[in-house]
Structure 1
Amino acid sequence: MSLNLPATFTYEKKGRIALMTINRPDAYNAFTREMLVGMDAAFDDFNADPDLWVAVITGAGNKAFCTGMDIKDALPAIAAGDQMGYDDPAKRPFQNIFKPIIAAVNGFCIAGGLEFLQGMDIRIASEHAQFGLGEVKWGVIPAGGSHIRLPQQIPWAVAMELLLTGQNIDAKRAYDIGLVNKVVPADKVLEEAMAWAEKICENGPLAVRTAKEIAVRALNNEPKFVLEKSIAPRVFNSEDAKEGPRAFAEKRKPNFTGR
């Protein structure tokens, strides 16, 4: 079946493994709406294909895994108060995918890129990878589940550091706090991720999927995601949420007013 994906998001089937690549390296693999639609279509196909057992997702080049939404694509929507989120307030990236997802992170994994990462199961990072949620620096918030998932996955104080300061952490610290499973040289990231995928494929696929489903469902995150979605508009509908992205696009310091 042809999915008619954009060239900026590729999907390959390699035996039992689905390899997906965010393919916009000149823009630090920032997402456009077209790419998000393509990613959703690829994961729907992966989820429905009984011959595919594990997904590996990476970013083209060595500068970035993903840096979230392209600000030029997102700015008009943010200015109109759109959170750029899912229509279903209880849905977040990959939460209904119970087949394992492995991330091969080579470079920046920030903003929406880190939000995607939080929905993945195994994370392999390059030595020069950087992780962060810089949204507050621009008057908005990472409303793609980070307020719920991040404190579940790493220590509270570090989660708050990322959410409240907007500063990045490096790969070593990400490994030390348990955000990633392994750090390897840049030229070994995809190879290592594929090796983990092959290792998982040696196990019973029904057992693997059931183990993940139980773990995910036990978190009972859907009501928490609804809470995030219900409170976030106070930020996205503010003047600061218009000023921050505008300042980013104009490469200047934002003038926040708290309104």
Structure 2
Amino acid sequence: MSLIVEKKNHILYVTINRPEAMNSITPELKDELHATFDEFEADDTLRVAILTGAGEKAFCAGADLKKLVPKMSSGERPIAVSDQRWFSNVYKPIITAVNGWCLAGGVEMMNGTDIRIASEHARFGLSEAKWALYPAGGSVVRLVRHLPWARAMEIILTGNQFTAEEAYHMGLINKVVPKEKLIETAEEYAEKIANNGPLAVRAIKEMAVRSLDLPMSQAFYWDSYMSTKIFKTEDAKEGPKAFAEKRKPNFIGK
């Protein structure tokens, strides 16, 4: 089983389960990941996901050089936009727990998630250019938006590896923790998000993603539309009421 999927208390746990191959991505695993997160997006009982890799050695070392890369190089498996835009059609939060090496396609997958926690021994790098390959998972597009231009281009063009602390200081990840605290910390974030209004959380994530493609004037228009839509929900009435009554809100997703 190359992918382990579990559900618990509104949280989806997705574990890449190929530790013997540094959790590298095969064609079948890539398709399975896309299908799993499509199902996550459609399941109203789930509010947030945690993505990690099996074992302590690697989160994901990128594409399987024996299986996926040859199919891409030969044209047998065309590079689809869905492959480049990891999780960009998912409007629920995704948290990545990076447990070790996060290289090439692993970084690209992580770039499509929202909150990133790394263990102290985690290492990062986009090495494609070193081997005359292209980082086809969206990093060229995303990193120049997420990081300062010079920092993004250094990562993409040199292929140099960097530590979890360096990733934290450049703003690529949110927190660095001891390896034994990795999943626990990811769960703390997930539980906080899962306890928030699910419709509001989803609308915030969707607007943030969509705004990247819009001029600011149009983005504010859609921002107004989203906020109006959320303020009309039952949850938007329950939240302030619970605050006034000094109790925990009971959000129903309506």
TM-score by shorter chain over 0.5: yes
TM-score, with length taken from structure 2: 0.81
**Post-superposition shift, 1:88?**
5.7
Distance across 1 between alignment mates of 2:158 and 2:93: 31
1:39 partnered with 2:33: yes
Q: 1:181 to 1:87 in 2, by over 3 A?
A: closer
Distance across 2 between alignment mates of 1:75 and 1:20: 23
Q: Aligned residue pairs: how many? A: 214
Q: Is residue 104–residue 125 contact of structure 1 (8 Å, CA) maintained in 2? A: yes
Task: Within 5 Å, give how 1:93-104 maps onto structure 2.
Answer: 93-104=86-97
Unaligned runs of 5+ in 1: 1-6, 222-259
Q: Is residue 85–residue 143 contact of structure 1 (8 Å, CA) maintained in 2? A: yes
Distance across 1 between alignment mates of 2:94 and 2:106: 14
**2:114 equivalent in structure 1:** 121
TM-score, with length taken from structure 1: 0.79
- From 197, 200, 211, the counterpart of 2:193: 200
Distance across 2 between alignment mates of 1:50 and 1:79: 38
Q: 1:84 to 1:24 in 2, by over 3 A?
A: farther
Query: Structure 1, residues 168-198: CA drift from partner, whole Å, max 9, x if none?
Result: 1110010001100000001111111011000
**Post-superposition shift, 1:82?**
5.8
Task: Within 5 Å, give how 1:103-142 maps onto structure 2.
Answer: 103-142=96-135
**2:79 equivalent in structure 1:** 85
- Aligned partner letter, 2:55: G
**1:26 equivalent in structure 2:** 20
**2:70 equivalent in structure 1:** 76
**1:228 equivalent in structure 2:** none
Distance across 1 between alignment mates of 2:153 and 2:144: 8
**2:211 equivalent in structure 1:** 218
Distance across 2 between alignment mates of 1:83 and 1:132: 24
Query: Structure 1, residues 90-136: CA drift from partner, whole Å, max 9, x if none?
Result: x6110010000000001111101100111000000000111110000
Distance across 1 between alignment mates of 2:76 and 2:114: 29
Unaligned runs of 5+ in 2: 215-254
**1:9 equivalent in structure 2:** 3
- From 148, 153, 156, the counterpart of 2:146: 153
Distance across 2 between alignment mates of 1:76 and 1:113: 18
> Aligned residues: percent identity?
53
Distance across 1 between alignment mates of 2:152 and 2:117: 19
Larger Rg: 2
Q: Is residue 74–residue 84 contact of structure 1 (8 Å, CA) maintained in 2? A: no
**Post-superposition shift, 1:75?**
3.9
Q: Is residue 3–residue 29 contact of structure 2 (8 Å, CA) maintained in 1? A: yes
